[in-house]
Structure 1
Amino acid sequence: MGSSALWVFIFLEMIIAVACCLGNALVIWAVWTCGALRQPTFCFIVSLAVADFLVGSVAIPVAVVWEINMKTTFYGCLFMCCVFIMLQLASGSLLLAIAVDRFLRVRIPLMYKSTVTQKRSWMVVAICWFTAALLSLIPMFGWHNYNTWNSTIHANSTSSKCRYFTVNSRSYLVNFIFFGFFLPPLAIMTGLYHYIFLTTRRQLRVNIGAATESRTYYQKEHRLAASLVLVLGLFVVCWLPLFLMHTIKLYGPKIEVPPVLIYMGVLLSQANSAVNPIVYAFKIPKIKQACRKLCRRVYHDREHQQRDVTKNSSTENRSATQE
């Protein structure tokens, strides 16, 4: 990549990082202030927002530092690559937890509240993060490219430029992460949401024209499931191209994948963490209401400040005229 293209790439990464931090911080604040953390689904949504926030505050800044050719040790570079994988795995496992939660809401509506408690939800969140950390740290114990790294460093030196596939094995990313922990959960989530939509539509047809509590319940479930499917769809659209390109590079070494496409895939995968808050803010009613309240508060505060400034300036003008 040329120097001008590199700086364009870094500029776009920084824009995505700022959007990740601001958007997901707003989502976390909105869920916290509206008291929705008492509901299991929002425990998972906040945890997903935390993962996306860490992408903008940790993963992307470190990637930018790498791009400007900062040197590091082998295990320092490998550890940060593992952190990137951990955030992706955490996002995927939390999306699966959300899908299972919505499935239980429809499958066992009468037993849901006693089965899926707030305490159990946070336990599931902890398991998702622990599992993601455990699986992402596997390269630290041997599934890495130390020989490739060793061949790139100069004599009497222990540090070099950090590049993802200089230290990480492409077979680990494709065979283990993509085939093992991306595609299977995706298939499960597709099946769960398919069941949710079939069930809610069937229940809505049964209660058509009736303003019953059951109809209201299934309408709410159908709308929220549609919003969460959009989040899942964006996750797949943003991550799948990058995984497919690395699969081609692993199993089709003679097929050339232009570096610019790889960089575009990286930007797309990072952008996923920035677009999720937009979906939450426009599609999930409780978060939407909390965001509106914040906007109104900021607008009214600005109005009061402008009035105070105008009032003070007019007072100063009057006193100056009297003098």
Structure 2
Amino acid sequence: MNSSYNSSDPSASPASSADLVVSLNVPYMAAELVIATLSTVGNLLVCLAVGINRRLRTVTNYFLVSLAVADICVGGLAIPCAIMTDVGIPRHNLYLCLLMLSVLIMLTQSSIFSLLAVAVERYLAIFLPFRYHALMTPRNAGLVILVTWVLAFLIGLVPLMGWYKTPPESGYCFFVFVVDMTYMVYFNFFACVLAPLVVMFLIYAQIFVTVKRQVRRIAAERAQGEAQAKRAASMRREMKTATSLFLVLFLFTVCWIPLHVINCFLLLCPRCTVPLPLLLAAIILSHANSAVNPFLYAYKMKAFRRSFKAIFLCCRVSAEADDGTDDGGTATHRS
């Protein structure tokens, strides 16, 4: 295959180039397999940690588990599909090809909706503290998670409903030759990715400004009673939790935006070419996001870190081992 993609020239991938594609992409496949392993193992640890540590069973962490499940599916399902379609498999089977290409779109959308649910949940915890426990029950959280997965599934299936390009005569299943870039840019990126990201960044900005203002106001009061001291400590915990969760959102954005920018470039400049190494690097970066969250939880949240250690030591986490003051479960409803 040529060392660049040209979205206006599907015939640029003749059948005789198949072997060259495989040989050129061995480093890419190796990187993908490493990411798949880290993503699957790491996010299984996240799910297991929430399962064995009662203090981690909070509404916030239920949404993080939903995010972890999506990342497990990326490692166990989407990345193998990506490797297969990178060499044009399946061949001469358009609908199976579209289904495999749609898998990652579904899982990415589920991740975005999970992040949005976390942001809204944190907003309610800070701005509606007296109604929070009535609104964010474990049952309601489960319903929200179900809705996010159904919506993500439907959005990912749009190409199968007819919004795709006519495949090349060679019959190879390459993403840019089969998936319509108008769908990827205008519908998927602008409407289903960029819009939720903007909303989430605005939510976290408001959270940071409000919490910081309240902490400063409490600190400025000369006569601090015990209740005020507890409130100040609670606000600091909320700030720490929001910061950790914002980092998850920030890393997601950094990892996925480059690939979407390339898609925009392919759509708006159809005769331009994108170097294949650059495209593969953007794909690897987007998939790598599925592997980084467990490391972030271990680094930023003591409860997760202790649970991971306990899992590696093959013992259950003691409830007394956690003080419950620094993980994403601050001011949340426990089941």
1:44 corresponds in structure 2 to: 63
Is the Cα–Cα contact under 8 Å of residues 78 and 168 in structure 1 kept in the other structure?
A: yes
2:120 corresponds in structure 1 to: 100
Is the Cα–Cα contact under 8 Å of residues 44 and 97 in structure 1 kept in the other structure?
A: yes
1:134 is the counterpart of 2:151: no
1:295 Cα deviation (Å)?
3.3
1:311 corresponds in structure 2 to: none
1:76 corresponds in structure 2 to: 96
1:69 Cα deviation (Å)?
4.5
Cα offsets for 1:187-240 (capped at 9, x unmatched): 111110011111111121122285622122211111110001100000000000
- When structure 1 is superposed on structure 2, of 30-39 and 63-72 the one drifting more is 63-72
The percent identity for this pair of structures is: 36
The structure with the largest helix share of the pair is 1
Alpha-carbon distance in structure 2 between the residues aligned to 1:193 and 1:259: 36
Distance 1:201 1:167, change over 3 A: same
Q: Which of the residues 215, 218, 222 maps onto 2:232?
A: 215
Cα offsets for 1:53-112 (capped at 9, x unmatched): 000000111222333443341100101111110001000111011000001111011221
Is the Cα–Cα contact under 8 Å of residues 31 and 286 in structure 1 kept in the other structure?
A: no
SS state at 2:274 partner:
coil
Note the residue ranges of structure 1 that are not aligned, 5 or more in a row: 154-159, 299-323
Is the Cα–Cα contact under 8 Å of residues 38 and 118 in structure 1 kept in the other structure?
A: no
Alpha-carbon distance in structure 2 between the residues aligned to 1:287 and 1:249: 41
Is the Cα–Cα contact under 8 Å of residues 84 and 90 in structure 2 kept in the other structure?
A: no
1:194 corresponds in structure 2 to: 205
Note the residue ranges of structure 2 that are not aligned, 5 or more in a row: 4-19, 316-335
Q: Normalising by structure 2, report the TM-score.
A: 0.82
Q: How many residues align?
A: 289
1:20 corresponds in structure 2 to: 39
Alpha-carbon distance in structure 1 between the residues aligned to 2:152 and 2:55: 25
1:91 is the counterpart of 2:102: no
2:256 corresponds in structure 1 to: 239
1:312 corresponds in structure 2 to: none
SS state at 1:143 partner:
coil
- Superposed, 1:1-323 pairs within 5 Å as 1=3, 3-36=22-55, 38-72=57-91, 73-145=93-165, 147=166, 149=167, 151-153=168-170, 160-208=171-219, 210=224, 212-297=229-314
**Aligned amino acid, residue 258 of structure 1:** P
What's the Cα RMSD here? 1.7
2:16 corresponds in structure 1 to: none
- When structure 1 is superposed on structure 2, of 32-41 and 228-237 the one drifting more is 32-41
1:4 Cα deviation (Å)?
4.3
Cα offsets for 1:231-278 (capped at 9, x unmatched): 000000000000001101110234432111111000000000001111
Is the Cα–Cα contact under 8 Å of residues 85 and 175 in structure 2 kept in the other structure?
A: no
Specify which structure has the bigger relative contact order, considering alpha-carbon pairs within 8 angstroms and separated by 6 or more residues: 2
Cα offsets for 1:8-40 (capped at 9, x unmatched): 111111000000011101111111111246421
1:303 corresponds in structure 2 to: none
**Aligned amino acid, residue 243 of structure 1:** H
**Aligned amino acid, residue 100 of structure 1:** V
Alpha-carbon distance in structure 1 between the residues aligned to 2:64 and 2:90: 36
Distance 1:75 1:289, change over 3 A: same
Distance 1:98 1:29, change over 3 A: same
SS state at 2:38 partner:
helix
Q: Normalising by structure 1, report the TM-score.
A: 0.85
